[in-house]
Amino acid sequence: GPQELALLERSLGLQEGNKYGVQGERKIPVLQTSNGPGLIGLVTIAAYLVKQAKKEQLLGSTAEEKAVVQQWLEYRVTQVDGCSGKEDTRIILKDLNMYLEDKVYLAGNNFTLADVLMYYGLHPIIADLTVQEKEKYLNVSRWFNHIQHYPGVRQHLSNVIFIKNRLYTNAH
Amino acid sequence: MGFGDLKSAAGLQVLNDFLADRSYIEGYVPSQADIAVFEAVATPPPAELCHALRWYNHIKSYEKQKASLPGVKKALGKYGPADVEDTTGATTDSKDDDDIDLFGSDDEEESEEAKKLREERLAQYESKKSKKPAVVAKSSILLDVKPWDDETDMAKLEECVRSIQVDGLVWGSSKLVPVGYGIKKLQIQCVVEDDKVGTDMLEERITAFEDYVQSMDVAAFNKI
């Protein structure tokens, strides 16, 4: 919601000053613009902020990269935000772990808005994982640990600890 | 340190294990450390070493910028897991550490993003110099602390035990276990760094609370 958008604004280096509200039962964020009806929805507003900050590369450079970024932004709002319960979480982590096996960032080789919003969306889930689970989803842990160290992203969110000495698995 | 011979299967395996939970050889941004190792690896690792391959393909994408990545290239033996023997025959001369090239001012096209990455990398490099990246041996210990009798204030006893604060010691959960005649013992978990805290020292400190503690035993001891 609005708090996440404030986090995003700061990570983009934008001065605060945008006014946010929420709409409806599901508390969808709304951004009041100076002219027009306002922008509705996390992804819409986030993309707008990226352009405001003149950091369009965060939306992807090539056509394929842009599509992948959109794919993960959509995933964040439909799968992660709609997730309820251990079973949903398990499916998300399993899919993400497989996907990240050969990638450093969600879009492949470049840091994008997809990484930021997935990080914010997954933070409460990852923060609650046991040591064993973090080892099980090794690629997710690697990616998450990387993003939380990216300058400007984590801010006041808690730093999730990932142990370097693997306690449970010897085979990969 | 070092990975052994990176042209051998064994060396690549060490690299692969090292990179399972890391995006880069050092820190969280690509640096000369990655370039040094990349050049030693020379060809893409096989697909079953998936972490090494992921890293290899990622660093390859920085091919054009490799000269401007932060850091200073060191001998291969300086990178990698701390517990692997350095077989590269490099000297342990640490003069390199002081020589941080401040990347000159001739790169006019540097984007803001690269600048931020570089600054972050520099800060990390500084803090790394002062920290020892050793692998720390730890143990999980379960202690039984017995009071004098059933009238001993167990809450105060627990307070005394937990008041023992030592570098390398972290107290965990505890519970009271009845041992008969109305007496309860305190069973408390702790995690210690092996080279900083030993059970002798713990016993000494705990039994020092003579008013409450009759004795202390190690109920369980596990290396973690």
CA nearest A99 in B: which residue?
A: B54
Residue B101, C-beta contacts closer than 8 angstroms, at least 6 positions apart: B72
Contact B113 A57 (CB under 8 A): yes
If phi over 0 gives left and psi between -120 and 50 gives alpha, with beta otherwise, what is residue B68?
A: alpha
Q: Residue A101 is nearest to which of B17, B27, B54, comparing CB atoms?
A: B54
If phi over 0 gives left and psi between -120 and 50 gives alpha, with beta otherwise, what is residue A120?
A: alpha
Which pLDDT value is given to residue A34?
76
Which pLDDT value is given to residue A15?
82
| Integer Rg of chain B from CA | 25
In a domain, B175, yes or no: yes
The mean-pLDDT minimum among A34-38, B89-93, B133-137 falls in B89-93
In a domain, A155, yes or no: no
**How many C-beta atoms surround the C-beta of residue B112 within 10 A?**
10
If one compares B30 and A27, the residue with the highest pLDDT of the two is B30
- Which CATH number fits the domain that encloses residue A108? 1.20.1050.10
Encoded tokens for A85: 């319960």
Q: Which residues of B touch A166 (CB under 8 A)?
A: 21
The range of the structural domain enclosing residue B187 comes to 138-223
The residue ranges of chain A whose pLDDT is under 50 are 170-172
Which pLDDT value is given to residue B87?
58
Q: How many domains does chain A have?
A: 1
Which pLDDT value is given to residue B42?
84
Residues B31-71 pLDDT 10s = 999 999 999 998 999 999 999 999 999 999 998 888 889 98
Residue B94's pLDDT band (cuts 50, 70, 90): very low
Q: Which residues of B touch A143 (CB under 8 A)?
A: 23
In a domain, A32, yes or no: yes
Encoded tokens for A155: 């801010």
DSSP assigned state of B137: P
Which pLDDT value is given to residue B143?
93
Contact B20 A142 (CB under 8 A): yes
Question: Taken in order B123, B124, B128, B129, is the CA torsion positive or negative?
Answer: negative
In a domain, A165, yes or no: no
In a domain, B87, yes or no: no
Which pLDDT value is given to residue A51?
93
* SS3 of residue A15 by DSSP: coil
Contact A172 B17 (CB under 8 A): yes
- Backbone φ and ψ of A125, nearest 5°: -70, -50
Size of interface A-B (CB pairs under 8 A): 47
**CA B156 to mean position of chain CA atoms:** 35
Distance linking the first and last C-alpha atoms of chain A: 38
- Which CATH number fits the domain that encloses residue B201? 3.30.70.60
Residues A4-18 pLDDT 10s = 999 999 999 998 778
